[in-house]
Amino acid sequence: MSTDRTRRRVLLIRHGQTEWSLSDQHTGRTDIDLTAKGEQDAAALKGITERIGLHQPFVFASPRRRAQRTAELAGLTVDETNELFAEWDYGDYEGLTRVQIQADHDPTWAIWTHGAPGGESVADMTRRVDAAVDRVESQLGASDVVVVSHGHFSRSFICRFLRWPISQGADIDLRPAGSALLAEAGGDRRLSELRGPVGEWAKPTSI
């Protein structure tokens, strides 16, 4: 464990590319595998905790196999698998792209403001992510933390950790196999680093 607990850090890792993330389909409950590129990008994360100076961090992960496989390929041993860290439940919009949803249902729709009918509302997601933040904070007194999860979940977590409304996740771009480093020191919290997949610039996302 880190000997300096005055500076506490959380590393968020988004799972590697899947066929649905490649096509911008909303993937919540669907348990889908990584693509070959997703596996390659996840494997390139190996050693990331050492590179940023995390010592024996506690690792949380979503139960979805795309997150579990990313952790495995990145050389991380998952200490706790928890549904709190699962992706947003998209309900009726599972498997659809934002373009399809706006064309067929509501031209103004965005997950950050409208939530998902039949799934989690913005309020639902805020409550769940707040519980995930609480769970991570309960561990931070003993060690730094890694969370291997999903795109919308991770962007939501960043917002709630920083005490922002969840809707500001729309302004954060976290690509498959990308990572975000959060830090807290002296009561101050900040987003210290946001990276795309190893060796790639972050690319714009439509969702």
Q: Is 124 part of any domain?
A: yes
* 197, pLDDT greater than 90: no
* Dist CA 129 CA 184 (whole Å): 18
User: Which tens digit of pLDDT belongs to each residue from 71-90?
Assistant: 999 999 999 999 999 999 99
Q: Is 201 part of any domain?
A: no
Q: In 3-state terms, what secondary structure has residue 12? A: strand
Would you say 59 and 148 are in contact if contact means Cβ atoms under 8 Å apart? yes
Q: Is 49 part of any domain?
A: yes
pTM: 0.92
The residue among 198 and 144 whose pLDDT is bigger is 144
Handedness of CA 112, 115, 116, 119 (dihedral sign): positive
Q: Is 156 part of any domain?
A: yes
Would you say 12 and 158 are in contact if contact means Cβ atoms under 8 Å apart? yes
The residue among 13 and 205 whose pLDDT is bigger is 13
* 205, pLDDT greater than 90: no
Q: Is 181 part of any domain?
A: yes
* Strand (E) or helix (H) holding 184: strand 179-185
* Dist CA 83 CA 87 (whole Å): 9
- Cβ contacts of 133 within 8 Å, gap of 6 or more: 157, 160, 161
Domain count of the chain? 1
- The span from the first CA to the last CA of the chain, in angstroms, equals 37
Catalytic member of 26, 39, 87, 150: 87
Q: Is 158 part of any domain?
A: yes
Average the pLDDT over each of 14-18, 101-105, 183-187 and give the range with the smallest value. 183-187
- The pLDDT, as a whole number, for residue 164 is 97
Q: In 3-state terms, what secondary structure has residue 73? A: helix
Binding site, annotated residues for substrate: 27-28, 66, 87-90
User: Which tens digit of pLDDT belongs to each residue from 7-66?
Assistant: 899 999 999 999 999 999 999 999 999 999 999 999 999 999 999 999 899 999 999 999
Assign 199 a pLDDT band (cuts: 50, 70, 90): low
Q: What is the CATH number of the domain that holds 15?
A: 3.40.50.1240
Give all strands (DSSP E) within the chain, no chain letters.
7-14, 58-61, 80-81, 145-149, 179-185, 188-195
Closest by Cα among 48, 84, 61 to 160 = 84
Could you give the C-alpha distances from 97 to 30, 54, 102, 117, 133, in angstroms and in order?
A: 14, 36, 9, 15, 28
Active site residue 150: no
Q: Is 1 part of any domain?
A: no
User: Which tens digit of pLDDT belongs to each residue from 127-163?
Assistant: 999 999 999 999 998 999 999 999 999 999 999 999 9
Mean pLDDT of 1-7: 54
Q: Is 142 part of any domain?
A: yes
Q: Position 176: which residue type?
A: P
Q: In terms of residue numbers, what domain contains 180?
A: 7-195
Active site residue 83: no
